[in-house]
Structures are given as structure tokens and as C-alpha cells.
């Protein structure tokens, strides 16, 4: 299938941030927000820990983004270790803050990634049930997760796609994928998703590589593959941070360019609360920041 060729800077963009855990990390986050806002994302999202373990930091970050910036802001929400009343209390608080977009997730087990998930006996058993509850609450925009290499706990890809269909049928507006590095894997996954009758946008999640060794450890826990070509691209650069950053920006930009050639025009970037690498990726794609104006995020 052929797709029209568009300029590399013409794509829609969103970011993921996470709530900071220290004053130093807070300063880094707001510097990143202030800088990356200049590339005009469609929205930004803020993560939420299992069982609400980051509830207050998430709320503080979301509230500041809404009150101090013009960035459309989505809050993640999980149903791990929470009964339905607790979940609805969180939804009510988010609505009062002005949140109109929720990234609805089951969430990782509070005992850690790789351990068995046990639904709360009086809670929502999975993300599809959470999406349905959010739809019953009103007019939230809802994003959900998708896994091109399947969720680590899914029996197989078919079962994984069946869960995505349940989330879409419950009212999800889009799916944001786990990061991946093999675009052929993503394209095959998207074909299966469409064959299953799922029509919502499936937005590729892009992870610019801050540290390949750390990424490998993280990827092994969440089921994402690390292709051999990445080792070759980063070989010999461990003690050369400037060259390593240049290669990392090129790798992510090349991945996005290839996905655009395959017909994709929207991307969700995992920022790790750092702006230099993400902005380098966007600049490589010809996406230039607007004239700098104080967003208020760092005020």
C-alpha cells in the first residue's frame, strides 16, 4: 500500500511526563515542559503510580500544567489496588481540576512488574471496565494502551488484541503504544488490529534512547524487543556523551520518518522528563520550535 509523502515536520505530537520525586527532578521537569511546549504538542500526559502511589505528585503536576500552561493535559489513571469508590473519588478530583482527557490503564501490579496481577475484589478488573466507567461519568476523552509486541501478561497476541478491542468498544478514543524499535513489528500489529475491527487511532510510542543499557533492562521487563542494529549504532559511544546523544536523536528521527512513509502521522514521545534529546529528535525532523514565549511552567 502506498501513502502520500508529506514533509517530515508535518505530524501530530504528544508527550508523556512523570511526576518528579525530588526538588532537582522537579526543576528538570518544568524546564523540559517549558522547552518542549515550543514544539506545540496536541497534548501531554502525566503518569499515575499503581494503586495511586503517585496520586498527590500526579495531581500537583497535572494541576500546574493546566493552570500555568496552555498545554492540553491528560492524567493517567489506573485501577490497581483501588475499589470503585476510590477510583471515582479520583475521577471527581481530576474533573474538578479541569482534566478532560484521561489515559485509562489497568496498571502494573503494586508488587512490581513481572508479578501476578490480582484485581481488587471491589474494583475495576481491567482497563476495559475502567473505560466503560469513565464513559458513564461523562464526556472525557479517553486514551488507552496498546502493545505491538503484546503485553507481557497476555497469553498471546490474539488475546492482547481482543483486550484492545474491548477497550475500544467500551469507548476509548485512541490507543498509545508501548515503545518499540522495529517498525515492521508495528506494521504487522496494526494490520492485525484493523482486521479485528478496531478502528480507533493507534499512535506509535517513541522512546528516544537516553541510555541503551538502562533501556535494555527496562525493555526486558515490559516485553519490548531491542533490535541488534541498536547495539551497532551505539557501539563505542559509552564514554562519548555528545556523539551518543547525536546518534540517539538520529535513531528516533529515522524511526519516525519511516513510520510516516508507512502512513502514520501522529506520535507519542516518552520524554523521561528531559528536553535536550527530544528537541534534537524534533529538530532533525524539521519541526522547529515556535518563537520562545514564557509558558509560565517554570514560574
| Active site residue ranges | 16
The whole-angstrom separation of Cα 150 and Cα 35 is 33
| Terminal Cα-to-Cα distance of the chain (whole angstroms) | 48
Render 69-104 in DSSP notation, one character per residue.
Answer: ----EEEEEE-TT--HHHHHHHHHHHHHHT--EEEE
Query: How far is 248 from 207, CA to CA, in rounded Å?
Result: 10
Measuring CA to CA, which residue among 241, 266, 243, 271 is closest to residue 256?
A: 266
CA distance 147 to 281: 23
Distance CA(250)–CA(149), nearest Å, equals: 23
- E strands, 97-192, in order: 101-105, 141-146, 174-179
Question: What is d(CA 180, CA 226) in angstroms, rounded to the nearest whole number?
Answer: 8
Among 35, 38, 32, CA closest to 46: 32
d(CA 28, CA 24): 6
Angle, alpha carbons 33-37-42 (nearest 5°):
115
Spell out where the chain has E strands.
Answer: 12-17, 43-46, 73-78, 101-105, 141-146, 174-179, 202-206, 266-270
Amino acid at each position: 500500500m502506498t501513502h502520500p509523502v508529506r514533509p517530515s515536520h508535518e505530524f501530530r505530537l504528544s508527550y508523556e511526563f512523570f511526576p518528579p520525586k525530588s526538588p532537582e527532578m522537579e526543576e528538570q521537569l518544568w524546564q523540559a515542559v517549558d522547552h518542549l511546549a515550543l514544539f506545540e504538542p496536541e497534548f501531554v500526559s502525566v503518569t499515575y503510580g499503581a494503586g495511586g502511589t503517585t496520586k498527590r505528585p500526579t495531581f500537583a503536576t497535572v494541576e500546574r500544567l493546566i493552570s500555568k500552561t496552555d498545554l492540553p493535559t491528560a492524567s493517567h489513571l489506573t485501577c490497581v489496588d483501588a475499589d470503585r469508590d476510590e477510583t471515582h473519588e479520583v475521577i471527581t478530583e481530576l474533573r474538578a481540576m479541569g482534566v478532560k482527557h484521561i489515559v485509562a490503564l489497568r496498571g502494573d501490579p503494586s508488587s512490581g512488574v513481572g508479578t501476578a496481577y490480582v484485581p481488587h475484589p471491589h474494583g475495576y478488573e481491567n482497563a476495559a471496565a475502567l473505560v466503560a466507567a469513565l464513559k458513564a461519568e461523562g464526556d472525557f476523552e479517553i486514551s488507552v494502551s496498546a502493545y505491538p509486541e503484546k503485553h507481557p501478561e497476555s497469553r498471546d497476541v490474539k488475546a492482547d488484541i481482543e483486550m484492545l478491542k474491548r477497550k475500544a468498544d467500551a469507548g476509548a478514543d485512541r490507543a498509545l503504544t508501548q515503545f518499540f524499535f522495529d517498525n515492521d513489528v508495528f506494521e504487522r500489529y496494526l494490520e492485525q488490529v484493523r482486521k479485528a475491527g478496531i478502528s480507533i487511532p493507534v499512535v506509535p510510542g517513541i522512546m528516544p534512547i537516553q541510555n541503551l543499557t538502562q533501556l535494555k533492562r527496562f525493555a526486558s521487563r515490559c516485553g519490548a524487543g531491542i533490535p541488534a542494529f541498536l547495539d551497532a549504532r551505539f557501539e563505542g559511544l559509552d564514554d562519548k556523551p555528545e556523539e551518543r546523544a547525536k546518534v540517539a536523536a538520529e535513531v528516533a528521527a529515522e524511526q519516525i520518518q519511516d513510520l510516516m512513509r508507512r502512513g502514520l502521522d501522529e506520535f507519542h514521545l516518552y520524554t523521561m522528563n528531559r528536553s535536550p534529546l527530544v528537541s534534537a529528535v524534533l529538530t532533525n525532523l524539521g519541526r522547529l520550535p515556535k518563537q520562545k514565549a514564557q509558558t509560565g511552567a517554570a514560574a
